[in-house]
Structure 1
């Protein structure tokens, strides 16, 4: 099982960074937006991965996947969009706010 093992570090980093960012202002709204984004990305992944696999654009060797599938797509494919939906906003919340240029700095 290669692909499931590749998912583990991404998922762990996502969980840790998301939990750390939960202390920042606006966390409930950000997490809700991440959840909706994840749902949309999972739906797109389900549709387009299945279409691409059905069109023989790529395949997954059976010995490298968990065996759990949604249609033709292995379940591991869905971890990356979920991680992206939560990790990127969490990283953004942890970055320092950009400094605003004052009128004097602009001159």
Structure 2
């Protein structure tokens, strides 16, 4: 590999795939949003976005610390002819592309792999439920006598 910015060129396919998956996840999430009722779902989305942003910031900060340590200790070295030139401390800025890709990919995969839950139906209280087919109601069972609320432990 020769030429300036070759490390950045290595990151382009990775970031391209991450962006495509993120766009696909956005389309899927928008489709799901149209079918779910408003209210609690909006609060859940805000919490998920807030959590994702905080996790992304932490991941980028930890990447900066770790990369500076491994470059400073001489564990990893970059050929100066293959970097763009901009640095974050001791490491080239293009090395952050992988952390940025992870910040995009993780929540995107979470959205894509999440199964939509069926709408929650409020169930009647246990005493109001009809007996299931083939099974007598709880109070009609011979092995368990019916109890009044005062007798219930």
**After TM superposition, which residue ranges in structure 1, 4 or more long, deviate above 6 angstroms?**
none
Structure with bigger RCO (C-alpha 8 Å, 6+ apart) = 1
Answer yes or no: is 1:18 the counterpart of 2:44: no
Larger Rg belongs to: 2
TM-score by length of 2: 0.56
> Do 1:35 and 1:86's aligned partners in 2 also have CA atoms closer than 8 Å?
no
Q: For 1:7, which of 11, 33, 38 is the aligned residue? A: 11
Partner residue, 2:57: 39
Give the match for residue 69 of structure 2: 51
Q: Whose helix proportion is higher, 1 or 2? A: 1
Q: TM-score, normalised by structure 1?
A: 0.77
Deviation at 1:36, TM superposition (A): 2.0
Structure 2: runs of 5+ lacking an equivalent? 34-43, 117-153
Give the CA deviation at 1:29.
4.7
Q: Which residue of 1 aligns with 2:95?
A: 77
**1:28/1:90 CA distance change after superposition, 3 Å:** farther
CA change 1:73–1:37 in 2 (3 A) is: same
In structure 1, runs of 5+ residues without a counterpart are 99-107
**76-85 or 29-38: bigger deviation:** 29-38
